[in-house]
């Protein structure tokens, strides 16, 4: 193994000069740097990661904790992970993969052994048990999603309120005047994360602002429930022409139910959803939708961490603007 002293000898300088030439932490004459770099190339020198970590107390590794829970959309997780790795590499960092399964002990382990410099957590719950731990660790972290109480921590996620609003604005612009929101199962509004409520807030704010008639319906994650909600909707709002769905599990059954009830999508009814693109695209009628921008979330999460590692202050909350993709399920209202 070729080490820094070999390079130093070969270039006719001291080891510290090689180190400074590499890190740029002290001025080095252009000529010396050239010589050092040539020696490095010629000898094929690679600094030993462990030695570097020991001496500098920086491992240049980030921990990424991925969820295992069922009900998490796998491609989204994967896309996110890839974007974290790619962005981390741009900042000369590597990524250590941890599973949720290891729990708090795993986080403490990689942090306390100085295996990693910082942590990224996915799938954060409202009352996530890891919050106190994160606060007590001596390394920075970023969470994907918003817990109930995030004081002193850094969070990032899609701006779900804006997403709710954007869906409504889209329908309003198409001329729809009577709309409904089909939301998550009731229990989601309690447990898990705050995002469900925020969609409702956005939805309501936008319908008010646009003077639309509207209702909100939580819906169980079962086809039968979808059918029931569809019937109820048509009974209560016979003039309904626009629906926003924030519930991946019932999107397809709901559309089926509407069509069985004699409404064509988008002819009689426009549907927009907040769900992964994959789902929206795969349906018989591709659905106009807003997706969680996983690649962007990953990238931004890493960048937040880098700033924290550099000692900069970062905002506690980062909300990513929603982007709506128009597909076949929305159309201008057939003005009579």
Partner DNA sequence: TTCCCCCGTCGAAGCGCTTCGACGTCACGC
Partner DNA sequence: GCGTGACGTCGAAGCGCTTCGACGGGGGAA
Given the rule CB under 7 A, which residues bind DNA? 1, 3-5, 12-20, 22-23, 25-29, 31-33, 45-48, 51-52, 54-57
Residues in Cβ contact with 84 at an 8 Å cutoff, skipping those fewer than 6 apart: 62, 64, 95, 120, 298, 299, 301, 302
d(CA 175, CA 242): 10
The count of chain residues that interact with its own copies, using the rule CB under 8 A, is: 39
Residue 5 vs 282, nearer CB to DNA: 5
- Of the candidates 201, 208, 159, the residue with the CA atom closest to the CA atom of residue 179: 208
Whether omega before 266 lies within 30 degrees of 0, making that bond cis, reads yes
Q: How many helices (H) and strands (E) does the chain have?
A: 14, 12
**Residue 328 CB, nearest distance to its own copies (Å)?**
19
Q: Which stretch binds its own copies (CB under 8 A): 99-107, 143-151, 164-172, 197-205?
A: 99-107
Angle ∠(24,313,302) on CA atoms, nearest 5? 70
Tokens of 17: 């000069």
| Selected binder of its own copies within 38, 41, 42, 112 (CB under 8 A) | 112
Residue 3 vs 109, nearer CB to DNA: 3
Site string for its own copies, 37-76 (x = CB under 8 A): -------x-xxxxxxxxx----x-x--x-x-x-----xx-
Residue 102 gets which letter from DSSP? G
Residue 17 vs 154, nearer CB to DNA: 17
Residue 37 vs 231, nearer CB to its own copies: 37
| Selected binder of its own copies within 97, 148, 222, 224 (CB under 8 A) | 97
Q: 258 in the Ramachandran plot: left (φ > 0), alpha (ψ -120 to 50) or beta?
A: alpha
d(CA 258, CA 226): 9
Residue 67 vs 147, nearer CB to its own copies: 67
Angle ∠(8,9,10) on CA atoms, nearest 5? 90
* 245-304: contacts with its own copies (CB under 8 A): none
**Residue 95 is a binding residue for its own copies (CB under 8 A):** yes
Tokens of 6: 């070999």
**Residue 40 CB, nearest distance to DNA (Å)?**
10
| Cβ 304 vs Cβ 120: under 8 Å | no
Residue 19 vs 83, nearer CB to DNA: 19
Q: Taking CB within 5 to 8 Å according to partner kind, which of DNA, its own copies, none is near residue 99?
A: its own copies
* 147-206: contacts with its own copies (CB under 8 A): none
Q: Taking CB within 5 to 8 Å according to partner kind, which of DNA, its own copies, none is near residue 64?
A: its own copies
Residue 48 vs 135, nearer CB to DNA: 48
**Residue 247 CB, nearest distance to DNA (Å)?**
49
| Cβ 156 vs Cβ 195: under 8 Å | no
**Residue 331 is a binding residue for its own copies (CB under 8 A):** no
Tokens of 184: 């998550």
Residue 102 vs 316, nearer CB to its own copies: 102
Residues in Cβ contact with 58 at an 8 Å cutoff, skipping those fewer than 6 apart: 52, 117
Q: Taking CB within 5 to 8 Å according to partner kind, which of DNA, its own copies, none is near residue 188?
A: none
**Residue 114 is a binding residue for its own copies (CB under 8 A):** yes
Please name the residue that has the structure tokens 């659905």: 287
Q: Taking CB within 5 to 8 Å according to partner kind, which of DNA, its own copies, none is near residue 12?
A: DNA
| Cβ 128 vs Cβ 141: under 8 Å | no
| Selected binder of its own copies within 94, 127, 149, 187 (CB under 8 A) | 94
């Amino acid at each position: 193994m070729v080490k820094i002293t070999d390079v130093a000898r070969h270039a006719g300088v001291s080891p510290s000069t090689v180190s400074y030439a590499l890190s740029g932490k002290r001025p080095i004459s252009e000529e010396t740097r050239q010589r050092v770099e040539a020696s490095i190339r010629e000898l094929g020198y690679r600094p030993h990661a462990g030695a570097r970590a020991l001496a500098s107390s920086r491992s240049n590794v980030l921990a990424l904790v991925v969820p295992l829970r069922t009900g998490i959309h796998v491609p989204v997780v994967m896309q996110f992970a890839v974007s974290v790795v790619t962005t981390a590499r741009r900042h000369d960092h590597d990524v250590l993969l941890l599973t949720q399964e290891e729990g708090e002990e795993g986080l403490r382990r990689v942090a306390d052994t100085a295996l990693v410099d910082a942590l990224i957590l996915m799938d954060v719950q409202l009352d996530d048990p890891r919050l106190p731990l994160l606060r007590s660790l001596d390394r920075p972290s970023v969470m994907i999603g918003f817990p109930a109480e995030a004081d002193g921590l850094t969070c990032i996620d899609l701006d779900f309120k804006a997403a709710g609003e954007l869906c409504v604005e889209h329908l309003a612009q198409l001329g729809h005047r009577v709309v409904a929101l089909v939301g998550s199962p009731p229990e989601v509004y309690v447990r898990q994360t705050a995002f469900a409520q925020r969609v409702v807030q956005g939805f309501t704010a936008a319908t008010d602002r646009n003077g639309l008639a509207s209702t909100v319906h939580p819906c169980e994650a079962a086809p039968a429930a979808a059918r029931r909600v569809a019937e109820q909707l048509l009974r209560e709002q016979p003039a309904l022409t626009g629906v926003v769905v924030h519930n991946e599990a019932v999107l397809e059954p709901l559309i089926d139910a509407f069509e069985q009830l004699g409404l064509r999508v988008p002819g009689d009814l426009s549907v927009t959803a907040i769900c992964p693109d994959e789902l929206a695209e795969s349906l018989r009628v591709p659905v106009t939708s807003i997706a969680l921008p996983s690649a962007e979330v990953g990238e931004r999460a890493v960048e937040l961490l880098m700033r924290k590692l550099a000692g900069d202050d970062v905002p506690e909350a980062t909300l990513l603007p929603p982007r709506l993709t128009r597909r076949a399920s929305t159309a201008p209202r057939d003005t009579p």
